[in-house]
Structure 1
Amino acid sequence: MQTATQTAIEANLLQVDRELVDAELLRLLQPAEGPASPVRDAMRYAVLGRGQRIRPILALRVARLAGSDNELTLRAAAAVEILHCASLVVDDLPCMDNEDERRGRPTTHKVHGEFTALLASFGLVSLSARAVVQQRCSPTELSALIRFQIELLNVLDASGLCEGQDLDLRLTGDERERLRARMIELKTVPLFVLAAQAGLMFTDPKALPARVLRKFAREYGLAFQIVDDYLDGECADFGTVDAQLRRCRETLAPLAPAAGPLEEMVDYLYARSYTRPR
């Protein structure tokens, strides 16, 4: 059973960064002036509920490791979360996973209706690409903005999240178990890799080894999904969780001793895994 100390660790490890992200999301999704917009309301509902914000937090911490913590990085981090929320709205629809609850409250389509939820997901994809746009920027910043938008939209193509969701819906039984790792690689990992890229893109690209960060983001994305599966009872063996989290730590060795902020993210997943009684 989880101890009070473990509960406190899980709640507090990432809280400061989570509050930064929540404030930026609130800014990006301010109520529009003029007539009420059901689609805009659904967009706000989908994003502004309780969330772990783990992907944008990864972006912020990578940026700090690279020696920069600027407004563009915060915008890019928020953009990753908005795209993630757009994908959740679609995942929850009756024609997909048919979920009634998400993040402790009714799913977007249960509150706003199916067609409004679908339109809200389109709006969120657009917002994620626009979130980093600003009126004035240097040529270097403009180049980074364009690269980020390209990478963000690449996540959605037929060889990324879309294919992962297709496999998730189509596969059953033994074939599903056999291809589970492939599903995670396509459906969960890309947004973590994008987050790590976002953290480095608006800093000095030579400040940190991009290959190491990409590898960590991949292993961390796998770990995140494995912990979720463990908490849902789909993965019965804590040893699988522990082994994957150890792999995450191993990928950080080239960044030592500066890897503390990313080590804390691994600690967070350990703390989450302890919420399941053993």
Structure 2
Amino acid sequence: MLACDRSAGGGVAEGMRYAVLGGGQRIRPALALRVARMLEAERPMTMRAAAAVELLHCASLVVDDLPCMDDAATRRGRAACHRVFGEATALLASFSLVALAARSVLPADTGSWASRRLVDFARRLLGMLDCGSLVAGQALDLELAGESRRREWTRISELKTAPLFTLAVRAGMIFANESEASAKSLERFGRAFGLAFQMADDWADGEAASEEALVERLDAARRALGGWGDRAQPLHGLLDYLYGRATQADCRYR
């Protein structure tokens, strides 16, 4: 997917590769693939949809790190994209990653059921960038600081972090024939898992959080899976992984 023409674009292609291939846990695509396998709905295009979620996530990180945003010098243990390629190239790389994410899942035709599902997913993906989702979360994050930001943690995370996790769930459901009620329960799981993931990250960074608060978030995610029984074991495994990573304990939290 990242096989861009490196001779064109003034380093934009290299910036894209740098932003995407520089480490990270790939937790969002992992979530998408586990949902697809749980629903026995994995298809060749499922991998591309999962990758598209990661491309959008990486694009958002490039923008987050810019001097006009969070002004971060590093990302994933190395220099932020704009520190290596410059602000202009980093911004263009983020635009290109969003375009690549959408283009990678859009079908050549829209006549079949599967094609229509892919178009719907692409619409959801691009909807992440409207003024009510990731963009709103970043704007609120910039507006608030200190104690105000801590008080608004849930609101910021619901806008800035959770949507990409619910999008990952939808990526795994593209070719599933589940009811809308089932889809909503998995979306609730994705949202709760996303909030738990953000809390674990904040805890690792030494920001205000506690093991008790993290467990509460993880429990909310488990409750969302209540109607899925043993089929949801792969998703319960992700919750155990997150708890173990956050607490440096190789064990289940329940």
Residue 221 of structure 1, aligned match among 187, 194, 197: 194
1:118-267 aligned at under 5 Å gives the runs 118-135=91-108, 139-206=112-179, 209-267=182-240
Q: What is the one-letter code of the residue matched to 1:198? A: A
Assess if the C-alpha contact under 8 Å between 1:72 and 1:202 holds in 2: no
Distance 2:204 2:41 in 1: 35
**TM-score, length of structure 2 as denominator length:** 0.92
Distance 1:216 1:158 in 2: 24
Distance 2:14 2:176 in 1: 34
Assess if the C-alpha contact under 8 Å between 1:73 and 1:198 holds in 2: yes
Change (3 A) 1:33 1:163: closer
Distance 1:78 1:139 in 2: 22
The Cα shift of 1:36 comes to: 7.2
1:69-80 aligned at under 5 Å gives the runs 69-80=42-53
Distance 2:153 2:181 in 1: 31
Which of structures 1 and 2 has the larger relative contact order (alpha carbons within 8 angstroms, sep 6+)?
1
Residue 44 of structure 1, aligned match among 10, 17, 25: 17
Q: Residue 86 of structure 1 corresponds to which residue in structure 2?
A: 59
Change (3 A) 1:174 1:200: same
Describe the superposition over 1:55-87 as per-residue Cα deviations: whole angstroms up to 9, x where unpaired.
111111111111122111111110000000000
The Cα shift of 1:35 comes to: 5.0
Describe the superposition over 1:187-241 as per-residue Cα deviations: whole angstroms up to 9, x where unpaired.
0000001110111122323498111101100100110001011111112421111
Q: Which piece of structure 1 moves more, 91-100 or 174-183? A: 174-183
RMSD, aligned CA: 1.8
State the SS of the aligned residue for 1:182. helix
Q: Which piece of structure 1 moves more, 213-222 or 241-250? A: 241-250
Q: Residue 252 of structure 2 corresponds to which residue in structure 1?
A: none
Describe the superposition over 1:33-60 as per-residue Cα deviations: whole angstroms up to 9, x where unpaired.
7557400110011001111111111111
Distance 1:33 1:247 in 2: 45
Q: Which piece of structure 1 moves more, 263-272 or 238-247? A: 238-247
Q: Which piece of structure 1 moves more, 252-261 or 135-144? A: 135-144
Change (3 A) 1:205 1:191: same
Change (3 A) 1:207 1:181: closer
Describe the superposition over 1:139-186 as per-residue Cα deviations: whole angstroms up to 9, x where unpaired.
112211110111011111101000100111111233222211100000
Q: What is the one-letter code of the residue matched to 2:25? A: Q
Gaps of 5+ in 1: 1-27
State the SS of the aligned residue for 2:131. coil
**TM-score, length of structure 1 as denominator length:** 0.85
- Identical columns (%): 49
Gaps of 5+ in 2: 250-254
The Cα shift of 1:138 comes to: 5.8
Distance 2:6 2:203 in 1: 44
